[in-house]
Structure formats: C-alpha cells, structure tokens
Chain A
Amino acid sequence: QKEVEQNSGPLSVPEGAIASLNCTYSDRGSQSFFWYRQYSGKSPELIMFIYSNGDKEDGRFTAQLNKASQYVSLLIRDSQPSDSATYLCAVKTERNNRLAFGKGNQVVVIP
C-alpha cells in the first residue's frame, strides 16, 4: 500500500466552480498534512497545511482532515484559470523522517 494516494485522474472544472481533491494515507500515526501546487515546469509551492481534524480555510482554499478515515482533502472555491496546476498531497509519516508525497492531481479550470 502506498504511503499517500491520490487516485483521481485530471479534474476539469468550469471557472467559478469548486474543485475538490482527495488524498488518503496509510500511516495512522501521521500528524502533519500539506498541500502543494505545482505549475507545469515549476517546482512545488506550499499552499496549505493542516494538523487537526476538521476544516482549515485560507482564502479560496479549504483543507479538510479526517484522521479516523485517514484522508485529507482540498477544496478550491471560485476556481480561476490560474488555479490550473498539479496539486500534491504530502504527509509527514511517523515511520520516516520526511514527507511522503502523492503523485498529484492535475486540475484544469476552463474559462
């Protein structure tokens, strides 16, 4: 079982809609969770982190964490064409001294 899984294929959303991304993780002891955005040809940039169960909002982004179900999600409200990118879920596992990354979900916002 992979440490972090992002299984959805490319997500196309119309401009102004909500984009929803999901991520599951295998290490139940994980405590820290991150979402990074990576534009094509660029390196990842941190957009959100969350440590506690529940929702955390930052502008148009909301991260949701459910430790019991071992998933973390990212909502992008009022999606803009500039949100078109690959979104990487990352988890600090207890087993290793590093972040484990999912393979990413591509989001395409259609004007």
Chain B
Amino acid sequence: GAVVSQHPSWVICKSGTSVKIECRSLDFQATTMFWYRQFPKQSLMLMATSNEGSKATYEQGVEKDKFLINHASLTLSTLTVTSAHPEDSSFYICSAKERERLSWTQYFGPGTRLLVL
C-alpha cells in the first residue's frame, strides 16, 4: 500500500514551453500533497503544499505564477512549470499524506527529471 506515482518520469523540453507533471496516490486518498525540487547533490527543497479543493501554499521564494499547482481530487495533484527555462532543470518529486491516518507519514513518488534546453 501507500504507492505514489508520477508522470512523466523524465521530460526534455525547449526553453519557453510549459511542462505538466502529474502526481497520483494509487491506493489511498491524499488530502495533502507536497511538491519538492532537488538539484544535484543538494537537499530536498519544499516548493508548495497542495490541499485538495483549495489553493496551494507556496514556500517563500517560489513563484506561484510560474509553478502552477492544481489538486482537483483526492488522488491527483499536478504541477505545471510555465515558460520553463534552463535554470528550472531539476528533479521534481511529489509526496502525499494519507487522508485516513492521523500521522504525518509522507510517501514519495519516484520523481520527474526535467531538462530544459
């Protein structure tokens, strides 16, 4: 149980295009999903917290108009990187907190590697 998937697993795009990344909880309902970014050999950086049915909460320094988050259902959250630039190239990882549990265990998706040319 507690499986989180991400799609796509990797994407290469041209500068200026938009990229959508999907995060799904496959066998549980997730009221809260989190989006992280990780540059090579660096630690996880929380970008935003996504709650089902409400607006995402962005961390300081993360542009909400550039990183659009939608959490339309209890099993799906999407991150859209708009007008991507080479500096947006990174490893994007989502995680989900199970709705039915009071604990704060987070399960991570496998991540999406984005390369912007």
Q: A interface vs B, CB < 8 Å?
A: 32, 34, 36, 42-46, 49, 51, 88, 90, 92, 97-99, 101-104
Q: B interface vs A, CB < 8 Å?
A: 32, 34, 42-44, 46, 49, 93, 103-111
| Interface pair A42/B111, CB less than 8 Å apart | yes
| Interface pair A32/B103, CB less than 8 Å apart | yes
Cα-based distance from A80 to B106 in the complex (angstroms)? 26
- Using a Cβ cutoff of 8 Å, how many contacts connect chains A and B? 43
Given A43-B109, A43-B110, A97-B49 in contact, is the A92-B43 Cβ separation under 8 Å?
Answer: no
| Interface pair A49/B44, CB less than 8 Å apart | no
Given A42-B110, A43-B110 in contact, is the A49-B43 Cβ separation under 8 Å?
Answer: no
Given A49-B103, A92-B104 in contact, is the A44-B34 Cβ separation under 8 Å?
Answer: no
